[in-house]
Chain A
Amino acid sequence: NAGVMQNPRHLVRRRGQEARLRCSPMKGHSHVYWYRQLPEEGLKFMVYLQKENIIDESGMPKERFSAEFPKEGPSILRIQQVVRGDSAAYFCASSPSSVPNYGYTFGSGTRLTVV
């Protein structure tokens, strides 16, 4: 039973390019969360999605960032026109429901470097 799969593991983008980060949740999990980890910091919540719905995007920057979780396929976090400050590790986590009995299952993250 594969865990949460994130790809790519490392991503390098030049300033102004687009970054696409993918997350495949655990089998049977329909809830996905994206977190960002800046250097020397803990993880910060960005967005919470269920299939085809954004439930909470209160942690997402207002511009350039978007997320989706289509009916079929992985969840995508998209960052348009990347800047150096977007360099961070981006983590995806999934859970089978919104019932908060357990901590989520995290992926291994995507490290984005903007040059």
Chain B
Amino acid sequence: AQTVTQSQPEMSVQEAETVTLSCTYDTSESDYYLFWYKQPPSRQMILVIRQEAYKQQNATENRFSVNFQKAAKSFSLKISDSQLGDAAMYFCAYRSRAYGGSQGNLIFGKGTKLSVKP
């Protein structure tokens, strides 16, 4: 069974600075998707960025980028020019590339609470 581990329960960053959130995962599959979700106090789960395992190029979405190390099974999220609105829980998630059934489910880590200091 796949597992996702986020080893940093809490992180803090100064506004305008850069922060990196860590995520490792375990799987025997060779093809899969990885995601970072943001959960602000409103509780809404917001997709931040996704990575397809068969793509070597790291995904980037504006100030958010990932460092995907497939051999090391590592998927870290870098937030550049941090803003107060970035304060939230961040969850790393894994999804099999297989179609349908239970393999389509997202497997989440326990999350990292990010605080942004003004």
Interface of B is mostly: mixed
Q: Which residues, 84 to 115 on A, are CB-close (under 8 Å) to B?
A: 89, 91, 93, 98-100, 102-104, 106, 108-109, 111
Residues of A with C-beta under 8 A to B45: 43, 91, 93, 106, 109
Residues of B with C-beta under 8 A to A65: none
| Interface residue from A98, A102, A103, A106 paired with B100 (Cβ < 8 Å) | A98
**Is B102's CB under 8 angstroms from A58's CB?**
yes
In the complex, whether A44 has a CB less than 8 A from a CB of chain B is yes
In the complex, whether B110 has a CB less than 8 A from a CB of chain A is yes
Given A55-B100, A56-B101, A109-B43: A103 and B95 interface contact (C-beta under 8 Å)? yes
Q: Which residues, 68 to 118 on B, are CB-close (under 8 Å) to A?
A: 91, 93, 95-102, 104-111
**How many chain A residues touch the partner (CB < 8 A)?**
26
A-B contact pairs, 28 of them (CB 8 A): A33-B106, A35-B106, A41-B110, A42-B4, A42-B108, A42-B110, A43-B106, A44-B108, A45-B102, A45-B105, A48-B102, A48-B104, A55-B101, A56-B102, A89-B43, A93-B45, A98-B101, A100-B95, A100-B96, A100-B98, A100-B104, A102-B50, A103-B33, A103-B35, A103-B37, A103-B106, A109-B43, A111-B43
- Residues of B at the A interface (CB closer than 8 Å) are 4, 33, 35, 37, 42-47, 50, 91, 93, 95-102, 104-111
